Chain A
Amino acid sequence: MGGGNLTIVIKPKREFEVCVEAEIVPGKTDFKVYLGKEVVPIEELFYVENIDDGEDRILLQGDFSRVKWIGKSMKGGEIIVEGNAGMHLGSFMEGGRIIVKGNADDWIGGMMKGGEIIVEGNAGNRIGCNYWGESKGMEGGKIIVKGNAGNYVGEKMCGGEIIIEGDAGDFIGTEMKDGRIVIKGKAGYTGWDMKGGEILVGDCELSPSFVKEGEVFKGDVNVKGNGSVKILKIN
């Protein structure tokens, strides 16, 4: 089976007692779905409807807060999550767009290289970060969170842009190398071990190892970094 010219509507058949892993991506209809460690047919857990409308789109209706890996490695097309989304949304993504109308869980856009993720509610921890042990976080693309974000935004980020329109937690841009993070509200600890890139934040607890240069703070000097942090409240 292949897709590409249709809208696929997927709805959970029940509330999931354990998290389900489903690498749902546009252009594909034969998703592998894991319930625990077993692979199960998608029809066992979801209603699937294909609408031949010339679109390259997936509509996720209902509660997907316990469905992980939506849009993993997707390269194009569109996913619209009409409710909440589970962990690892859009990780390793290379292109296309994901819109979450509700809230998203942790790890959105992990190591993504391109494309766009828009969360209209809040998002969890580790947005656009690296996976454990890896040396690069997000490398390209754009993540927009219209609500608040949790801890760790853009750890080891190497490119692309993250915009949080509300507040964020601690550890913003830790070990960031390049790219741009914008937090319109306030954030906690920011800029630790930052080597490059740019952070714009309403207010934050900036690492003390930054040096003020005109409008911005440069650092982190502890790692001979050349990142810049602009704190809107002060300036």
Chain B
Amino acid sequence: MTSILIKNGIVVDPEQNINGEKMDIYIKDGKIVDECKADKVIDANGMTVVAGGIDIHAHIAGPKVNAGRAMRPEDMKHVRMKSGKFRCAMGGVLLTCPSIGYEYARMGYTTAIEPATPTLYAIHTHEELDSIPIIDKAALPLFGNWHLTFKFAAEKDVEKMKSFVAWAIERAKGYGIKVVNPGGVEAWMYGKNVHSLNECIPGFEATPAEVLTTLMKASIELNLPHKVHVHCNNLGVPGSAETTAETIELAKKIGEYCLHITHIQFNSYTGDTWKNMGSGAEELAKLINDNPVTVDMGQVIFGHTTTMTADGPFEFALFKLAKSKWINKDVEIETGGGIVPITYRAKSAVNAVQWATGLEFGLLVDPDKIVISTDFPNGGPFTSYPYIITLLMSKKFREKEIEEKGVNNYIEKATSLLSIETERTFYDIVKMTRTTPARILGLKNKGNLKVGADADVAIYPFNCNDMPDYERILKALENPAYTIKDGEIVVKDGEIVSENWGKTFWVKAKEQSEVIEEELESVFKYYTVSRGNYGVREEWIRRAEAIRV
């Protein structure tokens, strides 16, 4: 491994309260070091040096991502890069595995989290994660509709829930607890949904509120690095803002940080029909700022994309609206899923409100509490992060986009976007793409440039102390001068120059599966695989890194 000196760069690292200081960064053996003899010197004079970006929520691997690709050959025929020195990279919004790694690196991102993996199919998720070059990654197994989750939640048995969570995360080689529409996906097996946190889940004694509360407590007691990652009930429909506020209340009752609400934009609509739907972002942003929760944006990008989520009933509702293709999936006693292609149109009042709502959150929530995301591919491509960042940094750019795209003026009535003067500083942006996601994920060696941190670095060709106009910001963010991953230069001037293989993080929590032995035995009577064949072994993963708690 070569050692690198990044000389005279302007460093932004909120974790160390460094905001635009000219300094040198040394890299050796894949880590940031104090000082060393450098084989290679990068002259970063006039350029901004930050840690590699972290995507906290992007559907990048697993059976539903692959089913989406198969369902949309018209999106997959787009050629990004022909094979040669590197592998062929294909895809429009959906991407092949090589494309995913290359495109992240080309934006200066070096870590991404796959947020919805059925433990039963975790083997598929890891096979795909192992095919994504460059970036570090991790997968979150789904817990919110598992029969055993309902059982332990109904019994309010935190001890058993803890053992179950630790056991399942170990089997999935997963990183934390993902919950999607708790109870709703189970109800969907009978063509139904659940519509409030306190409604009983069909066939069980538990409510969504009890599922969330028990899982939050378990996540704290297990000391998981990443706490409960929730896609709330009632997602995507008018009135969802209320459910989100109630979900925040649940977290508040616990009293300490234990809840990350994902793609908050999709869960923040007021009104009771599509005709009077509006944004609940202003109220919710206050609640988020005042309570121990974090969120990611779930920004919508105008254009076509493919939605995919474990939220089967939501996808069915979307299918009825979009009238295009639809995949529905039942995952035994664990979860379900659906896939539907859609197009977000600037001229549509509903889509315009969605677009504006995401930006409201990005401008109103404390940068220590919000992460930039599109819920890839649900809101749009992750490759539009530079675009989203530029929108957040420039009111002029927001106005230009509204004007040029002809964004439906219903947003004037239904959202507060037009009255928000805030322009995010680059320091805020580094928080929202590096510092904050690293903290939420509990990845201490990521998202910062401290001595000892992983040498994942992005160098952008602008001076953050003298920010250029929005056009040049956008161009610079789309074309980093360098991306360094694990101490190796992988991107130069926006193009891939070499590729390596990132780590897959997983969490090994203290497991006492004997406490739930009886329950496990009973469910495995009904599985399509035997208990011995269930799950993923560490040695099957290319570069597994266990985090022991």
Contact = CB atoms under 8 A, between A and B. Distances in A.
Interface of A: 37, 131-135
B324 A131 contact: no
Contact of A135 (B73, B77, B324): B324
Contacts of A134: 74
A133 B83 contact: no
B82 A37 contact: yes
A190 B89 CA distance: 39
B334 interface: no
B72 interface: yes
Nearest to B84: A37
A235 B52 CA distance: 72
A139 to B, nearest CB: 15
Given A37-B82, A37-B83, A133 B324 contact: no
Interface in B68-101: 71-75, 77, 82-83
Nearest to B76: A133
B77 A131 contact: yes
B82 A133 contact: no
Contacts of B75: 133
A134 B341 CA distance: 11
Interface of B: 71-75, 77, 82-83, 324
Main secondary structure of the interface of B (DSSP, over half): loop
A131 B77 CA distance: 10
Contacts of B72: 133
Nearest to B324: A135
B82 A132 contact: no
B32 to A, nearest CB: 40
B350 to A, nearest CB: 21
Nearest to B75: A133
B65 to A, nearest CB: 16
Contacts of A37: 82-83
A41 B248 CA distance: 64
Given A131-B74, A133-B71, A135-B324, 12 more contacts: A37-B82, A37-B83, A131-B73, A131-B77, A132-B73, A132-B74, A132-B77, A133-B72, A133-B73, A133-B74, A133-B75, A134-B74
B308 to A, nearest CB: 15
Contacts of A132: 73-74, 77
A152 to B, nearest CB: 16
A134 to B, nearest CB: 5
15 contacts: A37-B82, A37-B83, A131-B73, A131-B74, A131-B77, A132-B73, A132-B74, A132-B77, A133-B71, A133-B72, A133-B73, A133-B74, A133-B75, A134-B74, A135-B324
Nearest to A132: B73
State the 3 A-B residue pairs at the shortest beta-carbon distance, nearest first: A133-B74, A133-B73, A132-B73
Most buried by B among A37, A132, A133, A134: A133
A22 B182 CA distance: 54
A234 B83 CA distance: 56
A186 to B, nearest CB: 32
Contacts of B77: 131-132
Contacts of A135: 324
A37 B73 CA distance: 20
A205 to B, nearest CB: 27
Nearest to B82: A37
Contacts of A133: 71-75
A131 B74 CA distance: 7
Contacts of B71: 133
A105 B324 CA distance: 30
A44 B71 CA distance: 39
A135 B72 CA distance: 11
A131 B73 CA distance: 9
Nearest to A131: B74
A154 B74 CA distance: 18
Contacts of B324: 135
A135 B74 CA distance: 9
A134 B74 CA distance: 6
Contacts of B83: 37
Nearest to A135: B324
A157 B82 CA distance: 32
A132 B75 CA distance: 10
B322 to A, nearest CB: 11
A168 B420 CA distance: 62
A207 B77 CA distance: 32
B307 to A, nearest CB: 16
A132 B82 CA distance: 21
